[in-house]
Chains A and B, each alone.
Chain A
Amino acid sequence: MGLRLEYIISIIVALIFVSFFLINIEQKSRQKNESTKQLAFSDTRLIEVDTQKILGLAHSRYGVYENKTLILSDIIYHTDTVNLLQAQKGIYKGDYLFLEGNVTLNQKNGFDYTAQKAAYNQKSEVLSIESPFEAHMNKNIISGINLVYNMKEKKITAQKIKAVVFTLEK
């Protein structure tokens, strides 16, 4: 009865081949993982500088530097002209800081602004909101479909406006 010798040998050879390939595959997948995530950090304060001045100060709960892109979670961002800019996610790309999720801008004076997406150009110091936004100052509310905030000139322009303001009457 028993198994013929040739069958046993061919099974063993097949096993050897398979194990040889397996080792190779495993190594490749580990390397791939490591090359994308070069740096990960948590509860971090990032200070961005250029040769002249501090460009921006960012606090973040968790951050990753991956494929030459810095991605920060729960970012709190300041500069000398931006009092307080917050978002669930901040992505640095070139001169831009792209913000996503509950973006809020609080300046010392005037309205506070909220939106779901925004992009801040660190070089021109201009915040652009290309989606619906709301601006609050006490009970006064202004909403629109897009907004540009020039931090240097402290000027705001926006489109398609609906506002509710409150007034004291005699």
Chain B
Amino acid sequence: DKVEITSDAMQAEEMKKEVHFIGNVKITQLKSWIHGDRMIVYFDDNNQTKRYEAIGRVTFEFKKDNHFYKGSANRVIYAPLDSQYILRGNAKIEDMINKRHINGEHIKLDLTSGLASVIGNKQDPVKFIFETEDTK
């Protein structure tokens, strides 16, 4: 799959298989996108991307098949091979289809299955808001 990235600047090191995109970073893949202050793209030995790490004021929209999530976090790690997103630090996710809202310190979201696991901490317990249908 093709992923498009725009940013103000870029830094790379020849020996390290990673590229740092810096400033107003926007990454787009099909209908999903992630914004952040900095994005690190890691390449594997075949020069394919293996992991994306967005850092700093990260906001996102993930759309795939019949899943649609919006949210934000301090850091978002995307592993394309597993189709998994890991959100760290002040993480919030809105499930736009099922009208659910999750807050937590650490959220792992599997976009294929739609499963999300959430970890909170003492100061910031997990918060889970969902709508229930009114019983007649």
Query: Residues of A at under 8 Å CB distance from B?
Result: 107-111, 137-138, 140, 142, 144, 154-170
B55-80 toward A: CB 8 Å interface, digit per residue (1/0)? 00000000000000000000000001
9 closest A-B pairs by CB:
A154-B14, A163-B5, A167-B80, A167-B49, A170-B83, A156-B12, A161-B10, A158-B10, A138-B47
CA distance A163 to B4 in the complex (A): 6
**B3 touching A164 by the CB < 8 A rule?**
yes
Besides A110-B12, A158-B10, A167-B1, 5 other A-B contacts (C-beta < 8 A):
A109-B15, A144-B10, A160-B8, A166-B3, A170-B80
A168 CB to nearest chain B CB (Å): 6
Pairwise interchain contact B11-A156, C-beta atoms closer than 8 A: yes
Q: Which chain A residue lies CB-closest to B82?
A: A170
Separation of A166 and B1 alpha carbons in the complex (Å): 6
Summarize A's interface: helix, strand, loop or mixed.
strand
For residue B47, which residue of chain A has the nearest CB?
A138
Q: Are A156 and B80 CB-contacts (below 8 A) given A109-B15, A166-B3, A167-B49? A: no
B121 at the interface (CB under 8 A from A): no
Instruction: Report how far A109 CA is from B83 CA in the complex, Å.
Output: 28
CB pair A155–B11 under 8 Å, yes or no, is yes
The number of A-B residue pairs with CB atoms under 8 Å apart is: 93
Q: Does B96 contact A (CB under 8 A)?
A: no
Residues in chain B near residue A166, CB distance under 8 A: 1-3, 48-49
**The one of A108, A164, A169 that contacts B80, using a Cβ cutoff of 8 Å:** A169
Min CB distance, A170 to chain B, in Å?
Answer: 4
- From B4, B80, B112, A168 is in contact (CB under 8 Å) with B80
Let me know if A158 and B1 touch, CB within 8 A: no
Decide if B47 touches A140 in the complex (CB within 8 Å): yes
Chain B interface residues toward A at CB < 8 A: 1-15, 17, 19, 21, 29, 41, 43, 46-49, 80-83, 112
Is the CB–CB distance between A161 and B48 below 8 Å? Answer: no
Q: In the complex the two chains form, is B5's CB within 8 Å of A110's CB?
A: no
Alpha-carbon distance between A107 and B48 when the two chains are bound, in angstroms: 18
Q: Contact at A162–B83, with CB atoms within 8 Å?
A: no
Contacts of B14 in A (CB 8 A): 107-110, 154-156
* Chain A residues, CB < 8 A from B4: 162-164
Q: How far is the CB of A135 from chain B (nearest CB, A)?
A: 8
The answer to whether A137 touches B1, judged by C-beta atoms less than 8 angstroms apart, is: no
> How long is the Cα–Cα vector from A161 to B2 in the complex, in angstroms?
16
